[in-house]
Amino acid sequence: MIDKTVQDSSLSSSQLTKTVLSGDQPLTILKAVDLDIKAGESVAIVGASGSGKSTLLGLLAGLDVASDGQVTLLGHDLSAKDEDARAAVRAQGVAFVFQNFHLLPGLTALENVMLPLEIRGQMANRDIKAEANRLLTGVGLGQRITHYPNQLSGGEQQRVALARAFAGQPKVLFADEPTGNLDSTTGAHIETLLFELNEKSNTTLVLVTHDETLAARCQRQFRMADGVLAEVSI
């Protein structure tokens, strides 16, 4: 499925380390993580609670700064950039899906999906609306576009969040427990949508999950234990 011409690694890290102060004791959450993910790959990171998965995801996406080591995202060395420059990298095509869906309560489903497109400002307003409408229809919510988040169920909210993440055809999509709060049927629905995106538009998928079946659908799997990352050979 992978287009051979974009084989360049779209995400990599070397010796990525995160140390935080817990009380006055330094606590190393990530220990020299090396990772190399090609464009269009789907990757799962599994591991026990508290092992450092979310921390790693945050660093890979440039949401946080590492204590040591390097991250390269879409060809940019994130460790050399400040917050705003990292934001500029994200603007080029990075999207997120989170466990708690982070929809804006004051905006309708449609407006929530329109937001990243509006922020990137690459399309005319009319097109943005049409595109958001199309994306919502794509996740099966075509009839619910004027509903507010509190009028939607958890699964429906997560689907809106997915539609929002799909907006603008991201090159890398990070997801932290995207099905964590959902029942298995709904979760499966979300998974299907995720992998469709991955396949159809060659989006790199980085998933943090507890869900073994979800992990199993990914091309590669990593296991995090106490801050140490190891690839699980399938």
- Binding residues for another protein, rule: CB under 8 A, are 54, 57-58, 61, 63-64, 81, 83-85, 87-96, 98, 100, 102, 104-107, 111, 115-116, 118-123, 127, 131, 134-135, 137-140, 150, 163, 166, 168-169, 171, 176, 189, 192-193, 196-197, 200-201
Confirm or reject binding of residue 51 to ligand ATP (CB under 6 A): yes
Sheet of strand 220-225: strand arrangement: 94-97, 172-176, 204-208, 42-47, 220-225, 228-232
Q: Cβ–Cβ contacts within 10 Å for residue 123, how many?
A: 15
Cα–Cα distance for residue pair 149/169, rounded to 1 Å: 23
Beta carbon of residue 20, minimum distance to ligand ATP (angstroms, whole number): 4
Beta carbon of residue 220, minimum distance to ligand ATP (angstroms, whole number): 18
* Strand 94-97 versus strand 172-176 pairing type: parallel
Q: Which listed residue (50, 75, 140, 142) binds ligand ATP by CB under 6 A?
A: 50
Cα–Cα distance for residue pair 28/180, rounded to 1 Å: 26
HSE-up of residue 31 (Cα within 13 Å, Cβ side):
11
Sign of CA dihedral 90, 91, 96, 100: positive
Residue number with CB closer to ligand ATP (52 or 149): 52
Q: Which listed residue (54, 198, 209, 221) binds Mg ion by CB under 5 A?
A: 54
- For residues 4-23, which are near ligand ATP according to CB under 6 A? 20, 22
Confirm or reject binding of residue 55 to ligand ATP (CB under 6 A): yes
Confirm or reject binding of residue 108 to ligand ATP (CB under 6 A): no
Beta carbon of residue 123, minimum distance to ligand ATP (angstroms, whole number): 35
